[in-house]
Amino acid sequence: MKDKEIERLIKLEEKRQNGVINLIASENYVSRDVLMALGSVFTNKYSEGYPGKRYYGGNEIVDKVENLAKERALKLFGLSKNKWSVNVQPYSGSPANLAIYLALVPIGQKIMGMSLSMGGHLTHGHKVSATGKLWKWIHFGVSKKTELLDYYEIRRIARCEKPKMIVAGFTAYPRVIDFKKLRKICDEVGAIFMVDMSHFAGLVAGGAYPSPFPHADVVMTTTHKTLCGPRAAIIFSRKIKLHASSFMLHDLIDRAVFPGLQGGPHINQIAAIAVCLKEAATPAFKKYAKQVVKNAKVLAKELQKKGWRIVSGGTDSHLFLVDTWARGISGKTAQELLEAEKIIVNKNTIPFDTRSPFDPSGIRIGTAAVTTQGMKEKDMIKIAQKIDKILKSHGGH
Ligand code: DSN
């Protein structure tokens, strides 16, 4: 590179990434091919609109890229193009969620979702997010006793509030979601069922986590977590009409993404999405997804054996929460102690946390990135020993 300052920083970051044990549940390492597509000449091109309907000339190759990404997205999740549509233009998960709400729920009306403090996401209606300011959110959480989703309570709230949409999905809920039960609740109250599978999309693709597609109307996913692709998002929607209106869900979503919310799509990003979707369709990726979950289960179990309380008692996915405060170490302190020893995690609230989100009671641990590096169960046992030693030697009793 001619820009030596940035070149130096890229090399330093590469070295940092290679020199740590990365247990951030939402991160991963992409292939050279994904990086090449991201750094390709597609970054030079403007292509507002959709394939065949662009506002600029010179898009004949761009159209092929976007169509290929769409085809691969439907194929990866076994969806027929007669029943499902897909939009690959969202810049990332937050604008994708915003576009879905803008498309399908009139501003000011009710949406139900999991609260951030219980494991949801900022864009599931947190008050500091635009989503929380524009719609009236009814939040649900987990049962205090089991720390699992309480479907009886969700149904009770839904019947009472009659939301226009129910959003399922998490950033810090370790267990499987019963999509069938939530679908039933949506049908009972006339709500659209949307799933934000950003965290577990790669596991669904690899057959290591239940698929939301048989039950949901709309499914959003980012592509950079367990799916192992570029920072971006895609939205799947059923080709059905919105309630009694004559509008099709997918048309409303396409219009909300562009021109409603975004300008020109990032075609280099879409090319990289296409690459990761092809990689995720291989038998090697299936093996990977299963290993991610196996690793998370082993790591959680080993920490549990050493006396650390794991929220809900374990995990069915790529992530879990450790209640470090139960042994006198706050989440922030635990994160810092581990980082000093090159183990990267993030502090996280645990359900019914009594501490502040800036220094909560727990940490979140995920195994997608270390599994991409080839780690297996035996490595998880070693990591658990290391975490235990670091935290105990700094006062964890
Ligand atoms: N920030 C991501 C996570 O860590 O889960 C979600 O957007």
Over residues 254-277, the pLDDT tens digits come to 999 999 999 999 999 999 999 999
Counting from 1 in the atom list of ligand 1, the atom nearest the Cα of 123 is 7
pLDDT confidence of 394, banded at 50, 70, 90? confident
The H or E element that residue 35 is part of is helix 32-38
CB proximity list for 41: less than 8 A, separation 6 or greater:
268
Share of the chain above pLDDT 70, in %: 99
Q: How confident is the model at residue 243 (pLDDT cuts 50, 70, 90)?
A: confident
Q: Can you tell me the mean pLDDT for 62-87?
A: 98
Separation of alpha carbons 373 and 381, rounded Å: 16
248: pLDDT strictly greater than 70: yes
116 appears as a binding residue in the annotation: yes
* E strand map for the chain: 21-22, 49-50, 53-54, 84-87, 110-114, 136-140, 165-169, 192-196, 218-222, 233-238, 309-310, 319-323, 343-344, 346-348, 362-366
Amino acid of residue 315: T
Position 396 scores a pLDDT of 60
**Residue indicated by tokens 């091919």:** 33
Mean pLDDT of all residues in 382-389: 98
Instruction: Report the catalytic residues.
Output: 46, 48, 196, 222, 225, 231
Q: Among 126, 171, 223, 227, which is best to mutate for testing ligand 1, by the most ligand atoms less than 8 A from CB?
A: 171
Q: What is the pLDDT of residue 356?
A: 93
The CATH fold of domain 284-392: Aspartate Aminotransferase, domain 1 (3.90.1150)
Nearest CA to ligand 1 atom 6: 171
Ligand 1 site residues, Cβ closer than 6 angstroms = 26, 93, 121, 171
| Residue 120 assigned as binding residue | yes
Pick one of 3.90.1150.10, 3.40.640.10, 1.10.3720.10, 3.40.50.2020 as the CATH number of 33-280.
3.40.640.10
Residue 116 Cα to ligand 1 middle (Å): 11
Residue range(s) of every CATH 3.90.1150.10 domain in the chain: 284-392
Q: Whose CA is nearest to atom 4 of ligand 1?
A: 26
Average pLDDT of the chain, as a whole number: 97
CA of 168 to the centre of ligand 1 (A): 15
Q: How far is the CA of 26 from the centre of ligand 1 (A)?
A: 6
> What DSSP character marks residue 241?
B
Please give the backbone phi and psi of residue 210, each rounded to the nearest 5 degrees, phi first.
-60, 145
The CA R_g of the chain, rounded to the nearest whole Å, is 21
**What is the CA(292)–ligand 1 centre distance, in A?**
18
Give 209 Cα–ligand 1 centroid separation in angstroms: 19
Per-residue confidence at 397, pLDDT binned at 50, 70, 90?
low
358 is in an annotated binding site: yes
Mutate to test the pocket of ligand 1, among 198, 318, 347 (most ligand atoms within 8 A of CB): 198
User: How does pLDDT run across 143-167, given as a tens digit for each residue?
Assistant: 999 999 999 999 999 999 999 999 9
Mutate to test the pocket of ligand 1, among 114, 116, 121 (most ligand atoms within 8 A of CB): 121
The number of the ligand 1 atom at minimal distance from the alpha carbon of 346 is 4
pLDDT, residue 353, reads 96
**Residue 196 tokens, joined:** 């934000």
Q: How confident is the model at residue 393 (pLDDT cuts 50, 70, 90)?
A: confident
pLDDT category of residue 245 using cuts at 50, 70 and 90: confident
Is the distance from CB of 28 to CB of 223 less than 8 angstroms?
no
| Residue nearest atom 3 of ligand 1, based on CA coordinates | 26
Of all atoms in ligand 1, which is nearest to the CA of residue 94? 7
pLDDT at 232 over 90: yes
Alpha-carbon gap, residue 317 to 319, rounded angstroms: 6
User: Where do the CATH 3.40.640.10 domains begin and end in the chain?
Assistant: 33-280
